[in-house]
């Protein structure tokens, strides 16, 4: 291309090559064109070879200040990076000015937790018009009560035994077990770290009711919770049973086992304010992983403020 070509001429030459050699769709080419024209506009016509990394960082900050999302900024940076990579073969550049420039981090979505009343209603609900539960329903109630009571991961729950076993007849030693006498559950979490978590009174009652009717496992294990075939329940089966139970109970959101873990953490933190204790009960190696629940706690406080404070809302 002629050395006197305008900056946008370079863009069109690049896009033509993308369309010809890479056979990108017209829609994709138009997206690249918009991104590169926006760069030209933000740079106020500064020649491409004069742009430096500091300029790209500044322009990225402008986009962020315009409330453009991290995903969109990352896409634009990708468009710009490809263009400058191509341009470096067409003219002399000191360096690719987009190298080392990253989009702002995407904010982590807050864990979804149930309200206290919704969580209690979910784990304790019974089929309408039924005075007694079947053995499978007693198993489900014990599982759901324990998930919410102790904040277990679904894999930790599925791995529980009725009591500690050293392992024999081809079975492994227990990685987790329930101790109703002391009111504790012992589990092996991530990094093979064991922890002890208290079990609430309602969960203990549900566990006792299930243990009273629990048949011997057909797989020779000491599994606490069983599938319909009498083998140790799998995490996937727990997920499906909880989903079906939540639908039958009329829970207004999609529920999965980790939501009960989030609900446990959020509700304990709301009541106690003890972040370190919640960290220990969840089995987090770093308190940074637990601090996300302080945001959930603030949401609770803000809701109470909005509902109760006479100056909270504009009249």
Active site residue 261: yes
Q: In the chain, what is the straight-line distance between the N-terminal and C-terminal CA atoms, in Å?
A: 65
3-state helix, strand, coil in the chain (%, to 5): 55, 5, 40
Which residue of the set 64, 195, 258, 300 is catalytic? Answer: 258
Which residue of the set 153, 214, 232, 262 is catalytic? Answer: 153
Alpha-carbon distance of 263 to 280, in angstroms, equals 16
Active site residue 245: no
Active site residue 284: yes
DSSP state at residue 4:
T
Which residue of the set 57, 75, 256, 284 is catalytic? Answer: 284
Neighbours of 18 (CB within 10 A): 18
Which residue of the set 241, 245, 261, 262 is catalytic? Answer: 261
Neighbours of 293 (CB within 10 A): 24
Active site residue 22: no
**C-alpha distances out from residue 259 to 262, 283, 298, Å:** 5, 16, 18
Which residue of the set 14, 32, 148, 293 is catalytic? Answer: 293
Alpha-carbon distance of 20 to 108, in angstroms, equals 39
Which residue of the set 190, 193, 229, 236 is catalytic? Answer: 190
Alpha-carbon distance of 146 to 265, in angstroms, equals 13
Q: Which residues are catalytic?
A: 153, 190, 258, 261, 284, 293
């Amino acid at each position: 291309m002629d050395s006197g070509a305008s900056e946008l001429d370079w863009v069109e030459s690049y896009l033509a090559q993308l369309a010809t050699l890479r056979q990108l769709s017209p829609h994709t080419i138009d997206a690249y064109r918009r991104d590169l024209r926006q760069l030209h506009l933000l740079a106020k016509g500064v020649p491409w070879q004069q742009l430096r990394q500091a300029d790209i960082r500044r322009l990225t900050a402008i986009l962020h200040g315009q409330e453009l999302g991290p995903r969109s900024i990352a896409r634009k940076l990708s468009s710009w990076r490809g263009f400058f990579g191509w341009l470096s073969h067409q003219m002399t550049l000191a360096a690719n000015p987009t190298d080392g420039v990253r989009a702002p981090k995407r904010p982590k979505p807050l864990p979804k937790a149930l309200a206290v009343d919704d969580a209690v209603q979910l784990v304790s609900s019974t089929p309408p018009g039924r005075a007694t539960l079947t053995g499978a329903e007693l198993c489900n109630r014990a599982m759901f009560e324990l998930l919410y009571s102790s904040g277990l991961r679904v894999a930790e729950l599925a791995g529980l035994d009725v009591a500690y076993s050293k392992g024999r007849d081809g079975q492994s030693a227990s990685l987790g077990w329930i101790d109703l006498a002391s009111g504790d559950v012992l589990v092996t979490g991530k990094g093979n770290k064991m922890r002890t978590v208290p079990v609430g009174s309602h969960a203990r009652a549900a566990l006792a009711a299930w243990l009273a009717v629990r048949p011997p496992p057909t797989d020779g294990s000491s599994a606490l919770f069983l599938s319909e075939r009498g083998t140790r329940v799998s995490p996937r089966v727990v997920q499906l049973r909880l989903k079906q139970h939540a639908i039958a109970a009329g829970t207004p959101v999609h529920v999965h086992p980790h939501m009960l873990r989030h609900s446990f953490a959020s509700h304990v933190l709301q009541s106690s304010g003890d972040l370190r204790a919640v960290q220990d009960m969840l089995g987090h190696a770093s308190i940074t992983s637990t601090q996300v629940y302080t945001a959930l706690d603030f949401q609770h406080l803000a809701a109470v403020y909005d509902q109760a404070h006479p100056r909270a809302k504009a009249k």
